Amino acid sequence: MKKILIGTHNPGKFREIAYLISKKFKKISPVKLNIKSPKETGKTFESNSRLKANFFSKFVDFPVISDDSGLCIKSLKNTPGVYSARLAKEKGGFHNAMKYILKKLKLKKNRSAFFVCNLTYKSQDGKFINVQGKIYGKISEKILGKNGFGYDPIFIPNSYNETYGQMNKREKMKIDHRYLAFKKLRKKINI
Ligand code: IMP
């Protein structure tokens, strides 16, 4: 069976990416291989995603897929963006980070936001494919729902009335930014 390394230590992301990749692949986690995460020194989703794919590929002799993603809030100058994971760390977890965001948005009229996912596939022979998926929506007034991971409970995608966190996991995975990026990747390679 063909193998692919899903270059993330985030269990929520791993689950989503593994779900999208064809059953033909055995999906390997860096956690199982005892590989740590690289430092995310890039300033864009694309540079961080490429950096991760490059890093993880050094440890295996099969393809690697990695992702860099985050939540961009318009009235907060598109932050936390590439710092989404770091904001949660700095605030002592996602619940606190979401509370912090809601407080910051209290007096703002515009609650528009978007999630971005940059996926990088690195083949065994060193070729890179990079794609990006974006989904627009808004930040909810409250933390709502217990499903999913990260900032799911405060993001309501356009044309929905509930947060990612209130949606059934499968339902979310079929519309989200990661899925949109993956659809583009699938047009380029058989994965
Ligand atoms: P990084 O790509 O490892 O830098 O982390 C991205 C951050 O954005 C993490 O903290 C994730 O939890 C968050 N994030 C990315 N995608 C999603 C999503 O689909 N739902 C909720 N949070 C997400």
Model pLDDT for residues 27-39, shown as the tens digit of each residue: 999 999 999 999 9
Q: What is the percent of the chain with per-residue pLDDT over 90, rounded to a whole number?
A: 100
4-21 mean pLDDT: 96
Q: Which two tokens stand for residue 181?
A: 């990026």
How far, CA to CA in Å, does 138 sit from each of 19, 116, 141, 150? 26, 13, 9, 16
Give the burial class of 34: count Cβ atoms within 10 A of its Cβ; 0-12 exposed, 13-18 middle, 19 or more buried: exposed
Q: How many residues does the chain have?
A: 191
Check residue 104 and give its pLDDT: 97
145 — alpha (psi -120 to 50), left (phi > 0) or beta?
A: left
Check residue 59 and give its pLDDT: 97
Assess whether the C-beta atom of 150 lies below 6 angstroms from ligand 1.
yes
Assess whether the C-beta atom of 85 lies below 6 angstroms from ligand 1.
yes
> Backbone phi, then psi, for 163, in 5-degree steps?
-80, 165
127-179 pLDDT, tens per residue? Answer: 999 999 999 999 999 999 999 999 999 999 999 999 999 999 999 999 999 99
Instruction: pLDDT band for 122, please (50, 70, 90 cuts).
Output: very high
- Tell me the CA–centroid distance for residue 149 and ligand 1, in Å: 8
DSSP state of 146: S
39-55 pLDDT, tens per residue? Answer: 999 999 999 999 999 99
Task: Tell me which amino acid residue 93 is.
Answer: G
Check residue 113 and give its pLDDT: 98
- Tell me the CA–centroid distance for residue 80 and ligand 1, in Å: 10
Instruction: Identify whether the C-beta of residue 33 lies closer than 8 Å to the C-beta of residue 59.
Output: yes
Q: Nearest C-alpha to atom 23 of ligand 1 is from which residue?
A: 150
Instruction: Identify whether the C-beta of residue 74 lies closer than 8 Å to the C-beta of residue 134.
Output: no
166-178 pLDDT, tens per residue? Answer: 999 999 999 999 9
2-188, which class in CATH?
alpha beta
Assess whether the C-beta atom of 84 lies below 6 angstroms from ligand 1.
yes
Mean pLDDT of the chain: 97
Ligand 1 atom, smallest distance to 40 CA: 4
Check residue 138 and give its pLDDT: 98
> Backbone phi, then psi, for 62, in 5-degree steps?
-140, 170
49-72 mean pLDDT: 97
Does the annotation count 68 as an active-site position? yes
d(CA 165, CA 168): 8
Instruction: Identify whether the C-beta of residue 6 lies closer than 8 Å to the C-beta of residue 65.
Output: yes
Strand, coil or helix: 131: strand
Q: What is the percent of the chain with per-residue pLDDT over 70, rounded to a whole number?
A: 100
Q: What is the pTM of this model?
A: 0.95
